[in-house]
Amino acid sequence: MHLILVAEDEPAIRDVLRVLLAAEHFRVVEAESAGRAAIEARSHKPDLMIVDLGLPDRDGVDLIREVRSWSPVPIIVLSARTNEADKIAALDAGADDYVTKPFAARELLARVRAALRRSATGAAPAATITLGRIVVDLARRELHGTPADIHLTPLEYRVLENLARNAGSIVKQARLVREVWGPGQANDTRALRVCIRNLRQKLEPDPKRPKYLVTELGLGYRLRPDP
Amino acid sequence: MAENRPDPDELLSHVRAEEVRSRRGRLRIFFGANAGVGKTYAMLEAARGRRSAGADVVIGYVEPHGRFDTERLMEGLERLPTLAARYRGVTRQEFDLDAALARRPSIVLVDELAHSNLVGAEPAPRHPKRWQDVEELLAAGIDVWTTINVQHLESLNDVVAQITGARQRETVPDRIFDEADEVELIDLPAEDLLARLRAGKIYLPDDATAATERFFRKGNLLALRELALRRTTDRVQAASRASQRGDSSARGWLARDRILVATGPDPQSEQTIRAGKRLADALDAEWTVVYVETPALRRLTERERDRRVELLRLAESLGAETVTIDGPSAADALLEYAQTRQVTRVIVGAPKRSGWRAWLRPSTATELALRARGFDVVTIAAADRAESGIRAGPVPEREWARQPFRWRRYLAAFAATLACTALAAAMFPYLELTNLVMIYLLGVAASGLWLGRGPSVFSAVLNVAAFDFFFVPPQFTFAVTDVEYLLTFGVMLIIGLVIATLMASVRQQTRVAGARERRTALLYAMSRELAGARGTAQMAAIAIRHVAEVFDCEAAVLLPDPGGRLRPAEDVAAPHVYAGSDLAVAQWVIDHGRRAGLGTDTLPAAVALYLPLGDEQRRLGVIAVLPRNRRRVLLPEQLHLLETFAGQLGIALERARLAEQAEATRLSAQSETLRNTLLASISHDLRTPLAVMAGAASTLQEHGADLDRATSTGLAQSIETKAREMSELISNVLDLMRFESGKPALRLEWETLDDLVAVAQQRAEPRLDGRVIDTQLPAELPAAFVDASLIVQVLTNLLENFIKYTPRGTRARISAVPDGDFLRVTIEDDGPGLPGDASRLFDKFQRGSEEGAIAGVGLGLSICRAILRAHGGDISAGSSPSGGARFEFTLPTKAPAA
């Protein structure tokens, strides 16, 4: 049974989360402030943390940074802040995912499960990634599955590989551009957009409704492989 | 009689002057006939008295001259630090104006009012003269005590020079002396002074012993003492007159004298001006210095014409009003001006011509004296020319002498003579000699008309010679048998000259009139453009262009930013006027509301001239002018014209400011209305889902156990749906607020449309409920440079509308085509179409149909429009071919030029 630490100052939301997570058979530890959450995190060593950014004593981003300094525990931000700058700040501090309030219970639970799955597979990323009927073999740098003649250009493969190594997490577009195209191109995302479109044409069953290669608006992309 | 009643304007100005004085510091002058009478001593003694009475008296600057008495008196009085001014390797202690302003004592002692600051020194003094420093102190509300000798008064400068034979360079405008609140005459009989001199109690510079000895002759001292006494008496009388005027029961509201001082380029003018000042003071009269510009003056050298600037400046510094007038002759122009202005006395320099020249061309003075009606003419005898304080410069060179000799014109004159001779030769057999002359006369007249004075004289002489040589018997010799022809020659010569002179004068007048008309036209052109301008930056640009054109200069307009600091109004670089120190000049100008810089009394070392914009109450900015040709800007009438331009700009700026205020008021009223409508609308749209949620939740709570699973799930679902609707409404309201409260920062990135459409479509999907969205995007669409989340919001809002306002089973199509620098995106459906006026849909709180069961404030479309306009695109609504709704919007595919 996984243990989840909820850092949230609003009692009503804590109540909802407790009921929701308990119904999914998670154990829950609650903290109403960043200071409390840091203590609970050290003493209980939770398997996942859900963190609100607007905590009374300290900003959630601060808490994330502190926890991240000693623990790789998956952290999901649950915040009413919707603008990209806040999201990026949280992700940069080390958060794995970002869910905005008001949230749908289904979506939050799906993200929690995905994050736990990722951390369960350990620090070494999976050697193969399954996207429907296509399997990406990261070790051999090969694609298998149907249709059999899928061919990726070197750039497309590098983008896919980058996303696959961080499967399930948001990869910021600036980082993708930097790592694939080099630091000089950081401001021009046009090549990346075209590359993503081509990847979708080749990998997605319905490229107009991407299922695996998901756009995180204003942030970047996330590869959501089949479990 | 009307004149016996107090003039309301005058009373008003009197009251205003009183007001200004009450805010200003008081000036107390210790006045003496000579160095050594004990002014500084008396001042220090008075200061000690005031100090012991508890007043905050400090010594700003006192020249101790190593005198023991003075040093002793200075003990115990606070002394402000002096400023070490370095000039050509020499360091001199100077009065530190800023230190005094910062210290703000109630009384500051500043010795030697006539002192000149070292203009070229480092640090540069703000004013060239100490009296200007004192004026600034007074303006700052600090009382100033100072000392001055009679020979330092500007109007007495030449009289003193005549008495003593030494001219003082350091002078103080009489205005300062006359406007002083207190003048204390320190009087010492000549014998006592000489005794003090012998006792070594008077400071004398070592290098000037001979000059000083000449100065301290008893005759001189007596004369100076008399002068000082008389000047003080004048002041007292003026004061009593002023108090009489302030007293309504006073008898004589006699018409005041109005004195006109006529000046010209002659060296005597300066003396005439000073004489005018003394007479005006004695009569307590208003006085005007007129500079007459006649056609003859146009032929003067640049240097002589520049002298006019100096003369008129001198006149203004002595308190005169200055005017430049022009006319065919000085006397005519003066007479006309004197009559229109009801002048009582005209002061002119004494006639300079004598003998036959005076008889031929009477001088202006003589002519005025002959034709004067209703005013007296006072002539001022010429003094030694070397006495002039305004250096006349090297012997002036006549401008026409420097003009290139106009060969072409002389050639033309010669040709005219040839033509006349040829014509005359052809006519010779048929005409009398007397009529033949007419042909030559015609030639002379033509030369006079077209060729100017020299060539026409040349032509007259040639014609006479040709006529004589070819036609007058004996032919082919220059001998003349008949004396009658001498008359013919004479007449021909005179007619040639008269016509040429007349034409030159007419041309000159036309040119002057043309120039003036052009100026008026330019002023009008600027006013008209300013009237059509919007915003201060545009106005500034217009003014700069016009001023630069008219005054042949570089110009800049500096406007205060919200923090009160001056900034250039436009981006066009005019580097000189913006140099750091000059911005400081501009700041001084706007703080004091007075002009400064080049050609003024304040900071004359600056490269540009700075004029304030706006009036006393509202200082709106500064216009800086960097002349290429000083005379184009610094002549008083040019300066006045420039001030008129500045005034026009000031009015325009004020108008812009008022318009901005009105706009702000209108906007705030509008946003007030908006807020009210919003509140009303939101409260309806919030309460409806809240009612559903509260109802569903309480039902679940009360009867949860009794309900079957499907019912309770339905209730829970409706709670979730309504909550989501409310959340959307709230984000719409927040977004609208963001866009209403100014331009939001866009996070622009290169995005592909299919990516954005996919996100929007996935968001809408759960609510489609049987409706279908087709996307038909070409594969090779250019990327758009947009804020992804905002454009997704646009798409989402449009799809939400589609879901809200069409029945199930309706299809929507999303398509796009590149269009120039834009991407044209179309969303159309085959639903019922848009009701009513499609363009009004984008107004706030518009809904296609009156509010019904469908939630939403109708903010969606106006947010779409705000977002797209912020991107430089737009949105429009219409009908699809099938009669459904059709929305079309544009997205930029080019990054805006940085």
Contact between B758 and A194 using a beta-carbon 8 Å cutoff? no
pLDDT, tens digit (0-9, with 9 covering 90-100), for A28-38: 999 999 999 99
Q: Per-residue pLDDT for B800 more than 60?
A: yes
Distance of alpha carbon B7 from alpha carbon B254, whole angstroms: 11
Q: Which DSSP category does B82 fall into?
A: P
> Which pLDDT belongs to residue A205?
86
Higher pLDDT, B53 or B14: B53
- Closest partner residue to A102 (CB to CB) among B723, B762, B792 is B723
Characterise B620 by phi-psi region: left (phi > 0), alpha (psi -120 to 50), beta (else): alpha
Q: How many domains in chain B?
A: 5
CB atoms within 10 A of CB A218: 20
Q: Does A197 touch chain B (CB under 8 A)?
A: yes
Q: Per-residue pLDDT for B3 more than 50?
A: no
Mean pLDDT, chain A, rounded, equals 86
Contact between A194 and B759 using a beta-carbon 8 Å cutoff? no
Please report which confidence band the pLDDT of residue B576 belongs to, taking 50, 70 and 90 as the band edges: low
| Cβ atoms of residues B259 and B285 within 8 Å | yes
What number of C-beta contacts closer than 8 Å exist between A and B? 49
The residue count of chain A comes to 227
Average pLDDT over residues B418-427: 88
Its domain, for residue B200, covers 8-246
Q: Per-residue pLDDT for B530 more than 50?
A: yes
Q: Per-residue pLDDT for B845 more than 70?
A: no
Domain co-membership, B497 together with B447: yes
Please report which confidence band the pLDDT of residue B837 belongs to, taking 50, 70 and 90 as the band edges: low
Q: Does A210 touch chain B (CB under 8 A)?
A: yes
Q: Per-residue pLDDT for B34 more than 70?
A: yes
Domain co-membership, B789 together with B888: yes
Phi first, then psi: give them for residue B879, nearest 5 degrees. Answer: -115, 140
> Which pLDDT belongs to residue A4?
94
B517 in a domain, yes or no? no
Using the structure block, give the residue that is written with the tokens 């029961």: B249
pLDDT, tens digit (0-9, with 9 covering 90-100), for B375-414: 888 888 766 543 444 443 333 333 343 445 567 788 888 8
Distance of alpha carbon B70 from alpha carbon B45, whole angstroms: 9
Contact between A208 and B775 using a beta-carbon 8 Å cutoff? yes
Q: Which of B164-178, B544-558, B738-752, B760-774 has the highest mean pLDDT?
A: B760-774
Q: What is the per-residue DSSP string for B400-463?
A: HHHSPP-HHHHHHHHHHHHHHHHHHHHHTTTS-HHHHHHHHHHHHHHHHHHH-HHHHHHHHHHH
B690 in a domain, yes or no? no
> Which pLDDT belongs to residue B844?
58
Q: Which DSSP category does B318 fall into?
A: T
> Which pLDDT belongs to residue B158?
78
In this structure, what token pair is assigned to residue B869?
A: 């306009």
In this structure, what token pair is assigned to residue B850?
A: 């009156």
Contact between B731 and A82 using a beta-carbon 8 Å cutoff? yes
> Which pLDDT belongs to residue B21?
54
Domain co-membership, B88 together with B18: yes
Characterise B389 by phi-psi region: left (phi > 0), alpha (psi -120 to 50), beta (else): alpha
Average pLDDT over residues B303-311: 72
Higher pLDDT, B360 or B658: B658
> Which pLDDT belongs to residue B705?
81
Domain co-membership, B413 together with B371: no
Q: Per-residue pLDDT for B890 more than 90?
A: yes
Distance of alpha carbon B295 from alpha carbon B327, whole angstroms: 8
Higher pLDDT, A80 or A226: A80
CB atoms within 10 A of CB B812: 27
Locate the DSSP E strands across B106-233.
107-110, 143-149, 182-186
Higher pLDDT, B383 or B473: B473
Domain co-membership, B440 together with B362: no
- CATH number given to A128-223: 1.10.10.10
Q: How far is B673 from chain A (nearest CA, A)?
A: 28
Of A62-66, B19-23, B478-482, B629-633, the poorest mean pLDDT is in B19-23
CB atoms within 10 A of CB B571: 7
Choose the final residue of a domain: B401, B430, B457. Answer: B401
> Which pLDDT belongs to residue B840?
65
Domain co-membership, B146 together with B232: yes
Closest residue in chain A to residue B785, using alpha carbons only? A190
| Nearest by Cα to B616 from B639, B650, B637, B593 | B593
- Closest partner residue to B750 (CB to CB) among A84, A188, A197 is A188
In chain B, residues with a C-beta closer than 8 Å to the C-beta of A188 are 750
pLDDT, tens digit (0-9, with 9 covering 90-100), for B251-274: 333 456 788 888 877 777 888 888
Domain co-membership, B238 together with B262: no
Domain co-membership, B186 together with B282: no
Q: Per-residue pLDDT for A152 more than 50?
A: yes
- Say if the ipTM goes beyond 0.85: no
- Kindly tell me the burial class for residue B773, based on how many C-beta atoms sit within 10 Å of its own C-beta (0-12, 13-18, 19 or more): buried
Distance of alpha carbon B891 from alpha carbon B825, whole angstroms: 8
Q: What is the per-residue DSSP string for B588-656?
A: HHHHHTS-EETTSSSSTTSSSEEEEEE-SS-EEEEEEEEESSHHHHHSHHHHHHHHHHHHHHHHHHHHH
Write down the pTM of the prediction.
0.43
Three-class SS state of B144: strand
Characterise A55 by phi-psi region: left (phi > 0), alpha (psi -120 to 50), beta (else): beta
- Closest partner residue to A193 (CB to CB) among B765, B783, B792 is B783
Percent of chain B residues past pLDDT 70, beyond the cut = 81
Domain co-membership, B131 together with B238: yes
In this structure, what token pair is assigned to residue B337?
A: 């001006």
Q: Per-residue pLDDT for B716 more than 70?
A: yes
Distance of alpha carbon B841 from alpha carbon B663, whole angstroms: 25
pLDDT, tens digit (0-9, with 9 covering 90-100), for B195-212: 877 777 766 555 445 556
Average pLDDT over residues B79-96: 83
Distance of alpha carbon A82 from alpha carbon B31, whole angstroms: 79
Mean pLDDT, chain B, rounded, equals 78
In chain B, residues with a C-beta closer than 8 Å to the C-beta of A84 are 747, 789
User: Which of A217, A219, A221 to mutate to probe the B interface, most B CBs <10 Å?
Assistant: A217
Domain boundaries for CATH 1.10.10.10 within chain A: 128-223
Higher pLDDT, B512 or B141: B141
B723 in a domain, yes or no? no
Locate the DSSP E strands across B465-618.
553-560, 566-568, 596-597, 609-614
B587 in a domain, yes or no? yes
Domain co-membership, B208 together with B267: no
Q: Which of A72-81, B21-30, B34-43, B229-238 has the highest mean pLDDT?
A: A72-81
CATH of the domain at B50: 3.40.50.300
- Closest partner residue to A217 (CB to CB) among B731, B754, B759 is B759
Three-class SS state of A58: coil
For domain A3-120, the question of CATH label 3.30.460.10 is answered with no
Domain co-membership, B424 together with B301: no
Helices and strands, number each (H, E), in chain B: 29, 25
> Which pLDDT belongs to residue B392?
37
pLDDT, tens digit (0-9, with 9 covering 90-100), for B137-181: 888 888 999 999 888 888 887 778 777 777 777 888 888 888 888
- Kindly tell me the burial class for residue B778, based on how many C-beta atoms sit within 10 Å of its own C-beta (0-12, 13-18, 19 or more): exposed
Choose the final residue of a domain: B636, B663, B690. Answer: B663
B519 in a domain, yes or no? no
Q: Per-residue pLDDT for B246 more than 70?
A: no
pLDDT, tens digit (0-9, with 9 covering 90-100), for B611-635: 888 877 778 888 888 888 777 777 7
CATH of the domain at B885: 3.30.565.10
CB atoms within 10 A of CB B161: 17
User: Which of B749, B787, B796 to mutate to probe the A interface, most A CBs <10 Å?
Assistant: B749
> Which pLDDT belongs to residue A150?
78
> Which pLDDT belongs to residue B854?
43
Distance of alpha carbon A201 from alpha carbon A193, whole angstroms: 12
Q: How far is B784 from chain A (nearest CA, A)?
A: 9
Three-class SS state of A48: strand
Domain boundaries for CATH 3.40.50.2300 within chain A: 3-120
In chain A, residues with a C-beta closer than 8 Å to the C-beta of B731 are 82
Q: Which of B59-73, B476-490, B520-534 has the highest mean pLDDT?
A: B520-534
Q: What is the per-residue DSSP string for B793-848?
A: HHHHHHHHHHHHHS-TT-EEEEEEEEETTEEEEEEEESSS---S-GGGGGSTT--S
Q: What is the per-residue DSSP string for B228-245?
A: HHHHHHHHHHHHHHHHHH
Characterise B89 by phi-psi region: left (phi > 0), alpha (psi -120 to 50), beta (else): left
In chain B, residues with a C-beta closer than 8 Å to the C-beta of A215 are 755, 758-759
Please report which confidence band the pLDDT of residue B816 belongs to, taking 50, 70 and 90 as the band edges: very high
Domain co-membership, B460 together with B481: yes
Beta strand pairing call for B566-568 and B27-32:
unpaired
Residue spans of alpha helices (H) in B247-326: 269-283, 302-317
In chain A, residues with a C-beta closer than 8 Å to the C-beta of B752 are 193-194, 196-197
Q: How far is A217 from chain B (nearest CA, A)?
A: 6
Strand pairing partners for B148?
Answer: B31
Average pLDDT over residues B825-852: 68
| Cβ atoms of residues B538 and B559 within 8 Å | no
Q: Per-residue pLDDT for B374 more than 80?
A: no
CATH of the domain at B294: 3.40.50.620
**How many CA atoms does the CB half-sphere of B788 hold within 13 Å?**
25
